[in-house]
Chains A and B, each alone.
Chain A
Amino acid sequence: MTPLTDRLDAWRNEGARGRLFLLGAGFVALYVAVDAVTYIFPSEPFAATPWNPQPALALALIVLGGAAFAPAVLAAAVLAETFVREGPGGGFGFIVASSGMGLAYVLTGLAVRSKTRIAGGELTLRDLTWFVAFVAVGAALSSIVYVGAYLLDGTLPQERATRVFLRLAVGDVLGLVGVTPLLVYLTRATLLPAADARRRAALRDFAVFVLALVLTLLLVFAITPFDEFRMSYLLFLPMIAFALRQGAAGAALAVPLAQLGVIISLYVLGERAATAFEFQMLLLALSLTTLYFGALAEERAHAADALAQREQQLREQQARLNQAQRMAAAAELAASLAHELNQPLSAIGTYAGACRMLAAGGEASRRELQEALTQVVRESARAGEFVRRMRDFFRTGAADVERTAPSDLIEAAHDQVRDRLGRHGVQWTSRIEPGLPAVAVDRVQIGAVLGNLLANAIEAVVAAPPPRAIEVRARRSGDDMVRIEVEDSGSGVALEVRDRLFQPMATSKPGGMGLGLAMARTIAQRHGGSLWLDATCSRTTFCLELPADDR
């Protein structure tokens, strides 16, 4: 169903004056009819009733449709006064009172329309507070005008003016506060949640609420031997419960029902008209409490929704970030693989070019040709070895874990870089704590990690002035870990690099294994260990911790 507000706008744009007029006329008829039906307990002989829902029709029409409907509201007020209340006497008071009252509703409606978002179906605590404030002022204004006009007119005896004013004002507030939100929700078709499951839950809640309300009313008015007013606080229970469960829309539905229930109960009991004002105040407290609880529940639900949405967004963002990091790691890996393969390929190509020339050189260059061809074979073996190593490295499934002494790992890594250390005159020290437990690791993978750390260390010390030294230590850490530390005499890791050291693509250094510290850390973590840069040491120290295998 299209919300009434949208349809009103459409009609206005189309210039469908006939429809607008029909709506106004329908409203006037409804207004008079509702006034007639709820014309109970008039404070005889004067026409002030304890519950006036018809002003809510006027207020809703102005809130939804704007000032254009002011004439309809004024007409309805005057007609109702004429036919329902049989406006006492034919004096000027009758016209002033009824049209003044209508004008007050129009002003209230315009204020609510401009200051709150109720017309859009919103009922937050802020909207509700403004709404209640405007309604209170508007009802007081309309009642002052009404009572004042009849007072001056002479129709209303002075001693009854206060009583009539209070009953009228509170009755108006009750009707306006109680019924307007429901009317707005009805025209916007947002009374029930859109989702099927929530709609079913809302209907079930509503059925339970109606049952509870009827039972409570029976308890309060029919069964108890006490004065019904004493037990009326029980009405708060079903109201608050329903409002908390179904929010502002639930409150908007519950309040007029409760008001209707109480008024009907009083009507049936009949003789309790004397206590009508006390019941008006009870209903006012009940209505406001319920609406506020409803608005509160609504805001809480909105906040929870927003939070859930935000969390969802964060999760998606995190997922995208992870994806990007994986891509970056893959790109870095691909670049380093390409580099490693390019070296032997390049050498093979150049050797082959040389071989072609040597072959043309005849017998004289035969020995050289053989040597060059040997190099070609060696380089292709090197490329193959690299491919095999990578395949091992990326082997899926369980890692090839075996019990290994940390000293073996360190020695194996040392062997790989021994030449380079010698060439650059790097002093090598390894200190292994006696009685160190073995570790359960994949030797290829952890070998690659140590190789990476040593390659980095060599680069760092070569770039710095001598004396150049690398020290590797292995010791127990805590009860169940073995820590291997690689310390170099290089000039250290720049502060701005430190933070993203372990991120993929962080290294732009030439040479090395090219596997990157990110990959090395992943391997360490996959072994149940960790890898980090020890910032407390004065020299660059990378720490690799692996779980000890005490057996």
Chain B
Amino acid sequence: MTADAAPTGDSFEGSTVYVVEDDKAVRDSLLLLLRLRGYAPSGYESAEDFLQLDALLRPACALVDVRLPGIDGLALQRRLKERHPGLPVIVITGHGDVATARSALRDGAVDFLEKPIDEHELLDAVTVALASDQRRVAQARDREEISARLARLTARELEVFERITNGQHNREIAEEFGISPRTVEVHRSRIMEKLQARRVADLFRLRFELEQTSPPVA
């Protein structure tokens, strides 16, 4: 191992890492290491305890031991998919059997670590997991922002936005709604203004981004 004792300078410092592990010593050691690495770890003794949280601080990731009393790690992973969608899960196991690993990865675990846990593998896995969650969080934020801007449009403006981004000309739109091309022009400049778009191409990009992540507008 190389001497890399200094805390990592990555951008995930302060991100939350949820540790679900019933063995106190294993849990505490993980919490200490992660804290020293600049993360904000939070420990839970059982799946039930962790599931009692209503909201999670994002970006975040979860380190989940497979062997847990009551609801086991794999079952917890499945429940998290419904309760906190997109939360990256790293599964830890004391005995690295192929079946468990396959099952965990099939259910969307970002990584699978064997005990005794290798420090580098752990930190790599956490970094990858937090990066993926941050991407997700950023996307969600963008989407929310776009949605907020869209919400400022009137119903007619929303219809016109859809026609424009379908590639229709002003004249066609005017005919369809029985209004003058001049009025369409007014709608268009209002839309550009409300959506903070400088060019028509920006409208197309917004429409594209929206449809990437959510159902079509209107």
Contact = CB atoms under 8 A, between A and B. Distances in A.
Instruction: Tell me, yes or no, whether A binds B.
Output: yes
Interface of A: 335, 338-339, 342-351, 353-354, 356-361, 368, 372, 375, 378-379, 382, 420, 423-424, 458-459, 462-463, 510-511
Contacts of A368: 32
Contacts of A358: 36
Contacts of A420: 69
Nearest to B6: A360
B85 interface: no
Interface residues of B, number: 32
23 contacts: A335-B95, A339-B67, A339-B95, A342-B115, A343-B23, A343-B115, A344-B25, A345-B115, A346-B26, A346-B94, A346-B117, A347-B26, A350-B26, A354-B32, A354-B33, A357-B7, A360-B5, A372-B32, A375-B29, A379-B25, A420-B69, A458-B69, A462-B70
B133 interface: no
Interface in B1-33: 3, 5-7, 22-23, 25-26, 28-30, 32-33
A356 to B, nearest CB: 5
A199 B5 CA distance: 87
Interface in B48-88: 66-73
Given A343-B23, A346-B29, 8 more contacts: A343-B26, A350-B122, A372-B32, A375-B25, A375-B29, A378-B25, A423-B45, A462-B70
Interface in B80-139: 94-95, 115-119, 122
B29 A354 contact: yes
In this complex, which of A335, A342, A350, A359 has the most chain B Cβ atoms within 10 angstroms of its Cβ?
A350
B118 to A, nearest CB: 8
A375 B5 CA distance: 19
A463 B68 CA distance: 11
B117 A350 contact: yes
Contacts of B3: 356, 360
A342 B5 contact: no
A339 B116 CA distance: 10
A463 B71 CA distance: 7
A335 B68 CA distance: 16
A357 B33 CA distance: 8
A495 to B, nearest CB: 22
A458 B215 CA distance: 47
A94 B9 CA distance: 125
Contacts of B94: 338-339, 342-343, 346
In this complex, which of B6, B29, B70, B73 has the most chain A Cβ atoms within 10 angstroms of its Cβ?
B29
